[in-house]
């Protein structure tokens, strides 16, 4: 197969980690007989510097002409909140997700076997294993609702952010979660705040309807505050966790921390038709950019997700994950995951070792 991949290298460590991920893709291509056409797409702070806006015209069309999109990271202090919206990298991230119709964000939080010691939880909790998939609704809810800011007579300035969800939006993300659970350990935990929020009560009723339809999948409702507790008490109980946009934003970061370093975790954002977008969960890490210190594993594992979810190529995905696990099992570490006193290797060397294992 020839796959056409849009590469958004972005800012900070983005270009460094994408380079290594591309190298791994090429190694997989060699082993399994695939070729790749790479299309460079300018987005983020680097686009602001080059053309004056973070989301240049034609970006979505360029990405839509590809089979999948790989993104490094965007952002940095140079393009902070004092800049107009069209120059800020975050504006571009929201725009690309919306324009590609990427309503489902998949964030696995898996404790890799060689990284048990990196888990900040009790040893016996870590040893039980952590392997969950957070499915976050990405294009609705309070982040996209109507906002208002106005002066009141007696209470100073007042602001509102509206959280809205439709049955249709809830059903499509719910289906994604149940379908994914069927490929995993067949359990869905749906997270809401149905004891308080009307949107959550609708969320829960739609999920219950789906749970009847997917009767082979075990289902439970979990209140968001309880979920936050359970993630640090016993994360091994979760398989697929599905939730709305803001809860998912917060809980997925919490889940990632229980697995150790953010430098290890990939993510996928997918829709119904357009190409999926694959990216590490970390940001552009300006503090270590350009120093060959960034951990490329999260981006490399994002490529594994691309093979699994966009190309339905589980064997290639497994090969990448096995190569990462083998390199970690041999004791190789980038500085972010190295124990004190252990000599760390750089971004390029980590990429080379993983390629070699493939």
Q: With binding defined as CB under 6 A, does residue 345 bind ligand NAD? A: no
Residue 259 to residue 243: CA distance in whole angstroms: 20
Q: From the list 15, 23, 76, 174, which residue makes contact with ligand NAD (rule: CB under 6 A)?
A: 76
- 51 vs 77: CA distance, rounded Å: 18
Write the binding mask 119 to 148 for ligand NAD: x where contact by CB under 6 A, - elsewhere.
Answer: ------------------------------
| 264, 328 Cβ separation under 8 angstroms | no
- Residue 135 near residue 176, CB atoms below 8 Å: yes
Q: How many residues bind ligand NAD (CB under 6 A)?
A: 20
Strand bridging mode 68-73 / 2-10: parallel
Decide if residue 285 touches ligand NAD (CB under 6 A). yes
289 among annotated binding-site residues: yes
State the residue for tokens 């149940």: 178
| Annotated catalytic residue 253 | yes
Return all residues near 154 (Cβ < 8 A) that are at least 6 apart. none
Residue 263 interacting with ligand NAD (CB under 6 A):
yes
The count of C-alpha atoms lying within 13 angstroms of the C-alpha of 134, restricted to the half-sphere facing its C-beta, is 31
* Catalytic site residue from 131, 161, 221, 253: 253
The candidate with the shortest Cα–Cα distance to 236, out of 115, 120, 130, 108, is 130
| Interface region with ligand NAD, contact rule CB under 6 A, candidates 68-76, 101-109, 140-148, 338-346 | 68-76
Residue 282 binds ligand NAD, judged by CB under 6 A: yes
- Name the E strands within the chain: 2-10, 35-40, 68-73, 104-110, 131-137, 147-151, 157-161, 187-192, 218-223, 240-243, 266-270, 276-280
Mark the segment that binds ligand NAD (CB under 6 A) among 62-70, 150-158, 282-290, 301-309: 282-290
Q: Which of 193, 221, 325, 348 is catalytic?
A: 193
Residue from 27, 74, 255, 268 binding ligand NAD (CB under 6 A): 74
Residues annotated in a binding site for Mg(2+): 225, 249, 253
Contacts to ligand NAD by CB under 6 A: 13, 73-76, 93, 262-263, 279, 282-288, 294-295, 298, 336
Binding-site residue ranges for substrate: 97, 107, 136, 225
């Amino acid at each position: 197969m020839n796959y056409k991949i849009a590469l958004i290298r972005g800012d900070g460590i983005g270009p460094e980690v994408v380079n290594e991920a591309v190298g791994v893709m090429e190694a997989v291509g060699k082993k399994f007989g695939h070729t790749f056409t790479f299309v460079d797409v300018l987005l983020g702070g680097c686009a602001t510097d080059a053309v004056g806006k973070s989301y240049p015209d034609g970006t979505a069309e360029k990405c839509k002409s590809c089979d999948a999109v790989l993104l490094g990271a965007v952002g940095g202090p140079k393009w902070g909140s004092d800049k107009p919206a069209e120059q800020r990298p975050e504006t571009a991230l929201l725009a690309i997700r919306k324009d590609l119709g990427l309503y489902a964000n998949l964030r696995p939080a898996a404790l890799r076997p060689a990284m048990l010691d990196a888990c900040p939880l009790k040893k016996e909790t870590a040893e039980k294993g952590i392997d969950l998939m957070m499915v976050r609704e990405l294009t609705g809810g309070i982040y996209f609702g109507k906002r208002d800011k106005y002066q009141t007579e007696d209470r100073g300035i007042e602001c509102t952010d509206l959280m809205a969800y439709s049955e249709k939006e809830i059903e499509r993300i719910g289906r994604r979660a149940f379908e994914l659970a069927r490929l995993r350990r067949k359990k869905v935990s749906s997270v809401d705040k149905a004891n308080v929020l009307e949107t959550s009560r609708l969320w829960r009723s739609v999920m219950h309807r789906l749970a009847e339809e997917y009767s082979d999948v075990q289902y439970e409702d979990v209140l968001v505050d309880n979920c936050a507790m359970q993630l640090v008490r016993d994360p091994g109980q979760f398989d697929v966790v599905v939730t709305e946009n803001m809860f998912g934003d917060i809980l997925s970061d919490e889940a990632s921390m229980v697995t150790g370093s953010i430098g290890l975790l990939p993510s996928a954002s997918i829709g119904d038709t357009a190409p999926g977008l694959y990216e590490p969960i970390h940001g552009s890490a300006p503090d270590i950019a350009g120093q060959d210190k960034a951990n490329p594993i999260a981006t490399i594992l994002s490529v594994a997700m691309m093979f699994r979810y966009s190309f339905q190529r589980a064997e290639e995905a497994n090969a990448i994950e096995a190569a990462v696990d083998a390199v970690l099992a041999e004791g190789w570490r980038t500085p972010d995951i190295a124990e004190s006193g252990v000599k760390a290797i750089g971004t390029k060397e980590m990429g080379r070792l993983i390629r070699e294992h493939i």
